[in-house]
Amino acid sequence: MRKKALFWFFIFVLAIVPIASAAYVDIYPNYVIIKDRWPAVIRSGQTLQLEWELPESADLSSFAILDSDIDILSRIEAINKGSLVGKSVTVHTSAGSYTGVVKEDGGRLVLINPRNDQIIAIINASAVVSIIPGDDTASKNTLKLEVKNSGSTPVEDVNVRYFASGITWQVKYVLQVDGTEAVLKGEYEITNTTNTEIKDAVVRLIARQDPTYLYKTREVVLYAAAEASDATLPNVEHQGETAVYTLPGRITIPANSKLKLMLLKEDDLKLERTYKLNYDMVTVEYKLEGISQALPAGQIQVFDGDILMSTQSIASIPQSGELVLNLGQTMDIAGRTEQTNYTNVGELHTSEYAVTLKNNKDEKVTVEVVVNLPRDNARIVAQPGLEVKRTSSYTAIIYVDVEAKTERTINYTVEYTTNR
């Protein structure tokens, strides 16, 4: 019976995600670092027993005292497991997720519907990935420390730090296009999936993901949108290879909620459209240059006028970098490539191609014809007047201008040898 209890206790610790209020909160994409000052006076040379409560989302093993003169001599991590019987939980398994009230929590977990006592699921312990408690199951863990002040002066208010889970952030952008101009807006979205609010904290959003530090985080099913206060744009700093966004003032993030505030607004951006023919399909790219600040990775919606052109993910963009968005196939330009001749004389292979482009737009366009080369020693020769650029060992681009409402055909030749 003791082994069964220990098993459920282990799963419970991984899954519970309430976070306590803290003075400083650094939110990474997949974990949180909490920093705070805890009241304690430790005289020079004094050894003291300290006891603090931490939220169950905290990684107790990550707890550290930042004051260099304070040494931790011993520590006891007392984790409050409690009993799950009678409590509302969501159980994630490899086969799906189930929400109900726990009737049994021994070698198997029995969930019932509290309205009619009907069994929802009977889950073997080996199938459980995580157990997410409801609002009535939040509790705290106790950390007992024996510390010593090895310095020559007393220490007042101990600076501490620990890792936790349950709060994440992401960025959502909207690009509004009007001809050759565009406006880019972004908002950050902080999701608190815990049962406890972050209250009056200095919050920084860290645009860097550490794949070595991952938690099982709670999946939000229901939440209320948090009201945003009168927000100014966050202060952006670059520390090493990371962009750090410090939110203005002190921030409160209610439990089980999302907080959305403006991240940036870039007006009067110049937009360049690039058309590419590749494998008989003409696609269009939107390129924005001169963005004044770094853009964290996120989701972007692209509107051209009042038409939604695309919703896609973007990678992080460095400061003053360019944002390139592939919007897929264009309906106004068509193209096709045909092989018109092939000869083979000894080791020399020669292929001739004709490319036909039809521009249905009311304006002249330049189409980048992508040529996929058969070998890295291949040579491409285009008809006079066309610019050719080798972009890789196996790729070249031919730049073709096509007037409005016209069709144009160009020719090129690819030569390569097989003596290598």
* Position 188, amino acid: Y
User: Which of the four CATH numbers 2.40.50.420, 2.30.30.100, 3.30.465.10, 3.50.50.60 does domain 2-164 have?
Assistant: 2.30.30.100
Round to whole Å and give the CA distance between 173 and 180: 19
User: Vertex 67, ends 64 and 69: CA angle to 5°?
Assistant: 115
Helices (H) and strands (E) in the chain, counts: 1, 31
What's the average model confidence in pLDDT over 353-369?
Answer: 96
Q: How many C-beta atoms surround the C-beta of residue 29 within 10 A?
A: 15
Spatial contact of 253 and 190, defined as CB atoms under 8 Å apart: yes
Classify 405 as helix, strand or coil.
coil
Category of 305 on φ-ψ map: left (φ > 0), alpha (ψ -120 to 50) or beta: left
What's the average model confidence in pLDDT over 218-242?
Answer: 51
- Looking at residue 115, its pLDDT comes to 86
Structure-token pair, residue 87:
């409590």
User: Who has greater pLDDT, 147 or 94?
Assistant: 147
- 307's CB contacts (< 8 A; 6+ apart) are none
- Looking at residue 395, its pLDDT comes to 95
Residue 6: exposure state from Cβ atoms within 10 A (0-12, 13-18, ≥19)? exposed
pLDDT-derived band at 94 (thresholds 50, 70, 90) equals low
pLDDT-derived band at 303 (thresholds 50, 70, 90) equals very high
What's the average model confidence in pLDDT over 66-83?
Answer: 79
Spatial contact of 260 and 192, defined as CB atoms under 8 Å apart: no
- Looking at residue 83, its pLDDT comes to 64
- Looking at residue 17, its pLDDT comes to 29
Q: Which residue has the tokens 């939604």?
A: 308
| Predicted confidence (pLDDT) per residue in 118-137, tens digit | 898 888 877 765 566 665 44
**Topology agreement, domain 2-164 and domain 333-417:** no
Round to whole Å and give the CA distance between 62 and 412: 63
Least confident of 94-103, 208-217, 254-263, 381-390: 208-217
pLDDT-derived band at 140 (thresholds 50, 70, 90) equals low
What's the average model confidence in pLDDT over 364-389?
Answer: 94
Least confident of 61-65, 192-196, 310-314, 407-411: 192-196
| Predicted confidence (pLDDT) per residue in 335-344, tens digit | 999 999 999 9
| Predicted confidence (pLDDT) per residue in 183-222, tens digit | 999 998 898 877 667 888 999 998 865 444 333 333 333 3
Q: How many C-beta atoms surround the C-beta of residue 87 within 10 A?
A: 16
Q: Which long-range contacts (CB under 8 A, 24 or more apart) does 114-118 make?
A: 114/88
Whether the pLDDT of residue 13 is over 60: the answer is no
- State the chain's mean pLDDT as an integer: 81
What's the average model confidence in pLDDT over 90-97?
Answer: 74
* Position 276, amino acid: K
- Looking at residue 164, its pLDDT comes to 82
What's the average model confidence in pLDDT over 1-24?
Answer: 41
| Predicted confidence (pLDDT) per residue in 304-320, tens digit | 999 999 999 988 887 76
Whether the pLDDT of residue 2 is over 80: the answer is no
- Identify the bridge partners of residue 36 per DSSP, sorted by sequence position: 160
Instruction: Give the strand pairing for 348-359 and 333-345.
Output: antiparallel
User: Which of the four CATH numbers 3.50.50.60, 3.30.365.10, 3.40.50.620, 2.60.40.1170 does domain 333-417 have?
Assistant: 2.60.40.1170
Whether the pLDDT of residue 96 is over 80: the answer is no
- Looking at residue 5, its pLDDT comes to 38
The upper half-sphere exposure of residue 305, i.e. CA atoms within 13 Å in the direction of its Cβ, equals: 2
Domain ranges of the chain: 2-164, 167-265, 333-417
| pTM for the structure as a whole | 0.66
User: Vertex 159, ends 72 and 145: CA angle to 5°?
Assistant: 30
User: Who has greater pLDDT, 323 or 13?
Assistant: 323
Closest CA to 232 of 264, 186, 269, 273: 264
Round to whole Å and give the CA distance between 181 and 372: 33
Name the CA radius of gyration of the chain, rounded: 30
